[in-house]
């Protein structure tokens, strides 16, 4: 699939004048992850993509209020806190997107009448925030030992006015883009779990972005695998 | 921070099912599918290697394996649901079945399992039952008759806030967990209210399993250090009592730190403590 990324002339693989250097052969920014860094939550993870960083904590399966309990599966709650200010409508909508993605993947039927809470704190925002939040949530759920049917990752694409596709855009690229598309993909067959888009784009461009996101997701999943192997090799 | 720059690309068709045997003791991720080994063909009654006639000639029978924590059945394959190392235990003795597969994962949150011995804290007394907090998603219920020698006239002396060591008789996802402090013969067998003083602290579930393993040297070394009483709950709680408060605290710190120390570091600490 390296071929797909190189032969497609519209895709930029060089970072150019970006402040954050990108890895050779892959358009995603440098990423890093740390697990089990908080002592209170059952699982926690911090995910860094370039300069964007999100910290996630997972509590569960824990007690749930009778008004919120579901008789045959776990109640999943996502709370996203911005870096400054009170959470507003944008945070609410991102929480809903992350919750829908997690519900598709977490095996809630194994823990009915419990609650699984994912708390995300934005540490720094330099573009692709939703994708970074999705990755942090996935790593934190794995760290907490919540049963899942697959892993998931988030990838953001930006289309600028000429139609050039940039994966994992920075804040500057996002502002200048004419369309920003974020996809959540699962690890088993790279299927689409969630997509949210903003801006103007054609049908063909959507398919192209989706294909590019699927190719880029392999790098993220390979990073997950290496990161988890490193964690279990210490014990 | 574990940083990685991805360089080489893989084919898009990842996630093929692998044979469970080839992945033993390796880290497996949620979403992976594992194939079970196939059954060996039994020798025919004639003894000359005749094969028994099969009704469905194309399909080979699979061995019956027990699917432990972290694995789910999905068709005739196993689906991994938690991240950890895949372990296997041979079938013992009379060869019934094909053994047990499970995923050894590191977790902090306890989920009640039938038969587990746990330490609980009594949170409420309502009528004939006590509500006991065991660290799961809901409090377990403990009947006042489930103690050795308890009758309706002779109630056990249990107050709110007491520590209880008991085992689960009912623990599934659909019902409230129930625990008792007697075994199937009606004897306490070490269970019941845990005495005065001592210190209760929480560790990860993996550490408890490691300490309770039959060949664990940590416990023997700790026992040589100071005389102590210790109770392990499978829900990640440990209760420790030594002669003085200082010794109790030292023991608690050692046990908490055991998870991250290598054997050499541990021996150093023990020898330093034994001298002082």
Radius of gyration of chain A (CA): 18
Threshold 0.90, pTM exceeds: no
* pLDDT, tens digit (0-9, with 9 covering 90-100), for A163-186: 899 999 999 999 999 999 999 999
Q: Given an 8 Å threshold on Cβ–Cβ distance, is A112 in contact with B174? A: yes
- Interval A212-223: pLDDT, tens: 999 999 999 999
The pLDDT of residue A17: 30
Pull the structure tokens for residue A85: 């200010």
Angle at B207 between CA A109 and CA B225, to 5 degrees: 155
- The minimum CA-CA distance between A221 and chain B, rounded to whole Å, is 10
Write phi, then psi, for A232 (nearest 5 degrees). Answer: -80, -15
Contact with chain B for residue A113, Cβ under 8 A? yes
Domain B199-275 has CATH 3.30.1370.10: yes
Nearest residue in A to B110, CA atom: A61
Task: Read off the tokens for A61.
Answer: 């399966």
Count the alpha carbons within 13 Å of A128 in the hemisphere toward its beta carbon.
Answer: 31
A163 vs A145: CA distance, rounded Å: 42
**Inter-residue contact A78 to A133 (CB < 8 Å):** no
Contacts of A188 in chain B (CB under 8 A): 15, 31
A199 close contact with B: CB closer than 8 A: no
Residue A1: exposed, middle, or buried by beta-carbon count in 10 A (0-12, 13-18, 19+)?
middle
Please name the residue of chain A whose CA is at the shortest distance from the CA of residue B11: A1
B116-193 matches B199-275 in fold: no
DSSP-derived secondary structure letter, B260: T
- For the segment B205-228, the average pLDDT, to the nearest whole number, is 89
Quick one: how far is CA B227 from the chain centroid? Answer: 27
Over residues B168-210, the pLDDT tens digits come to 999 999 999 999 999 989 898 899 999 888 999 999 999 999 9
| Nearest C-alpha in A relative to B203 | A39
Listed by start position, the domains of chain B span: 14-39+63-105, 116-193, 199-275
**How many residue pairs bridge chain A and chain B with CB atoms within 8 Å of each other?**
140
The pair of structure tokens assigned to A136 is: 């942090």
Q: Is A227 in CB contact (< 8 Å) with chain B?
A: yes
**pLDDT at res. B8:** 36
Determine how many CB atoms are found less than 10 A away from the CB of residue B239. Answer: 20
Q: Crossing angle for the helix pair B217-225 and B263-275, nearest 10 degrees?
A: 10
Domain ranges of chain A: 31-233
Chain A closest-CA separation from residue B262 CA (Å): 9
**B210 to chain A: nearest residue by CA?**
A235
**Cα distances (Å, whole numbers) of residue B185 to B146, B156, B177, B182, B189:** 12, 18, 21, 8, 10
For testing the chain A interface, which of B71, B83, B263 should be mutated: the one with the most A CBs within 10 Å? B83
**Set of chain B residues whose Cβ sits within 8 Å of the Cβ of A63:** 137-138
Distance CA A47, CA A33 (A): 5
Please tell me the predicted confidence (pLDDT) of residue A48: 95
SS3 A54: strand
Tokens of B245: 């408060």
Tell me how far apart the terminal alpha carbons of chain A are, to the nearest angstrom.
Answer: 35
Q: Which CATH superfamily is domain A31-233 in?
A: GHMP Kinase, N-terminal domain (3.30.230.70)
Output the pLDDT for position B98.
Answer: 72
* Rounded CA separation B197/A186 (Å): 51
Q: Which CATH architecture has domain B14-39+63-105?
A: Beta Barrel (2.40)
CB contact under 8 A, A145 and B82: yes
Which residues in chain B have Cβ-Cβ distances shorter than 8 Å to A224?
Answer: 29
A226 touches chain B (CB under 8 A): yes
Mean pLDDT of chain B: 84
CA A46/CA A36 separation, integer angstroms = 9
For B31, which of A113, A188, A227 is closest by C-beta distance? A188
Q: Is A107 on the interface with B (CB under 8 A)?
A: yes
Cα of B174 to nearest chain A Cα, Å: 7
CATH topology of domain B116-193: OB fold (Dihydrolipoamide Acetyltransferase, E2P) (2.40.50)
Interior/surface letters A205-234, b for 16+ CB within 10 angstroms, e for the rest: bbebbbbbbbbbbbbbbbbbbebbeebbee
Question: For residue B262, how many other CB atoms are within 10 A of its CB?
Answer: 9
The residue assigned the tokens 């609980």 is: B120
In chain B, the residue whose alpha carbon lies closest to the alpha carbon of A47 is B1
Where do runs of H (alpha helix) occur along chain B? 205-211, 217-225, 245-257, 263-275
**Mean per-residue pLDDT for A4-8?**
30
User: Does B123 touch chain A if contact means CB atoms closer than 8 Å?
Assistant: no
Question: What pLDDT was estimated at residue B44?
Answer: 41
Number of separate helices (H) and strands (E) present in chain B: 4, 18
Asked if residue B77 lies in contact with residue B54, where contact means CB atoms within 8 angstroms, the answer is no
Q: What does the alpha-carbon distance between residue B264 and residue B272 come to, in Å, rounded to a whole number? A: 12
pLDDT at B161 over 80: yes
Write the pLDDT tens digit of every residue in A46-55. 999 999 999 9
Report the distance separating Cα A146 and Cα A185, nearest Å.
19
Residues of chain A found within 8 Å of residue B9, distances taken between Cβ atoms: 1-2, 5, 25-26, 215, 218-219
What pLDDT does B50 receive? 57
What pLDDT is attached to residue B251? 92
Taking residues B29-39, what's their average pLDDT?
84
pLDDT digits (tens, 9 = 90+) for B51-98: 566 666 666 666 778 889 999 998 888 999 999 999 998 887 665 667
Alpha helices per DSSP H over A60-111? 89-105
| ipTM above threshold 0.95 | no
Residue B42 pLDDT > 80, yes or no?
Answer: no
pLDDT tens, residue by residue, A131-158: 999 999 999 999 999 999 999 999 999 9
Measure CB to CB from residue A151 to each of B4, B29, B107 and give the nearest one: B29
pLDDT digits (tens, 9 = 90+) for B129-151: 999 999 999 999 999 999 998 99
Asked if the model's pLDDT at residue B262 lies above 90, the reply is no
A23: closest chain B residue by CA = B5
Alpha-carbon distance B189 to nearest alpha carbon in chain A (angstroms):
31
Flag whether pLDDT at A92 surpasses 70: yes
Say if A1 is an interface residue toward chain B (CB within 8 Å): yes
Q: Tens digits of per-residue pLDDT, A198-209?
A: 999 999 999 999
């Amino acid at each position: 699939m390296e071929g797909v990324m190189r032969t497609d002339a519209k895709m930029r693989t060089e970072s150019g004048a970006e402040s954050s250097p990108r890895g050779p052969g892959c358009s995603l920014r440098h990423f890093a992850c740390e697990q089990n860094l908080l002592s209170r939550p059952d699982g926690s993870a911090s995910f860094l993509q370039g300069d964007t960083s999100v910290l996630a904590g997972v509590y569960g399966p824990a007690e749930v209020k009778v008004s919120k309990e579901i008789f045959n599966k776990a109640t999943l709650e996502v709370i996203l806190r911005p870096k400054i200010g009170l959470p507003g409508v944008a945070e609410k909508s991102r929480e809903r997107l992350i919750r829908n993605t997690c519900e598709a993947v977490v095996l809630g039927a194994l823990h009915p009448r419990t609650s699984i809470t994912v708390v995300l704190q934005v540490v720094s925002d330099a573009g692709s925030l939703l994708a970074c939040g999705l990755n942090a949530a996935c790593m934190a759920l794995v760290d907490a030992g919540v049963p899942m049917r697959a892993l998931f990752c988030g990838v953001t694409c930006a289309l600028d006015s000429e139609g050039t596709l940039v994966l994992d855009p920075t804040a500057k690229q996002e502002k200048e883009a004419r369309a920003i598309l974020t996809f959540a993909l699962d690890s088993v067959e790279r299927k689409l779990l969630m997509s949210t888009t903003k801006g103007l784009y054609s049908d063909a461009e959507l398919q192209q972005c989706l294909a590019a996101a699927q190719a880029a997701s392999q790098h993220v999943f390979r990073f997950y695998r290496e990161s988890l192997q490193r964690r279990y090799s210490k014990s | 921070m574990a940083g990685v720059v991805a360089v080489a690309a893989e084919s898009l068709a990842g996630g093929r099912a692998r044979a469970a045997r080839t992945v033993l003791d390796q880290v497996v991720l949620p979403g992976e599918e594992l194939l079970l080994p196939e059954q060996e063909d039994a020798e025919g009654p004639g003894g000359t290697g005749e094969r028994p006639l099969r009704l469905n000639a194309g399909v080979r029978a699979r061995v019956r394996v027990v699917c432990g924590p972290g694995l789910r059945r999905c068709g005739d394959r196993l689906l991994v649901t938690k991240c950890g190392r895949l372990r296997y235990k041979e079938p013992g003795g009379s060869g019934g079945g094909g053994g047990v597969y499970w995923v050894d994962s590191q977790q902090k949150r306890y989920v009640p399992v039938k038969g587990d011995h746990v330490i609980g804290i009594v949170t409420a007394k309502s009528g004939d039952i006590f509500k006991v907090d065991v660290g799961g998603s809901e409090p377990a219920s403990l009947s006042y008759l489930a103690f050795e020698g308890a009758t309706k006239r002779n109630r056990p002396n249990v107050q709110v806030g007491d520590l209880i060591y008991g085992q689960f008789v009912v623990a599934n996802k659909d019902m409230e967990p129930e625990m008792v402090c007697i075994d199937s013969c009606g004897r306490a067998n070490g269970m019941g209210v845990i005495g005065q003083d001592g210190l209760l602290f929480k560790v990860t579930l993996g550490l408890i399993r490691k300490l309770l393993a039959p060949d664990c040297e940590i416990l023997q070394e700790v026992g040589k250090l100071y005389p102590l009483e210790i109770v392990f709950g499978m829900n990640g709680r440990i209760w420790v009592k030594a002669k003085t408060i200082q010794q109790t605290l030292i023991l608690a710190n050692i046990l908490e730190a055991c998870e991250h120390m290598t054997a050499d570091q541990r021996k150093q600490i023990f020898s330093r403590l034994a001298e002082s």
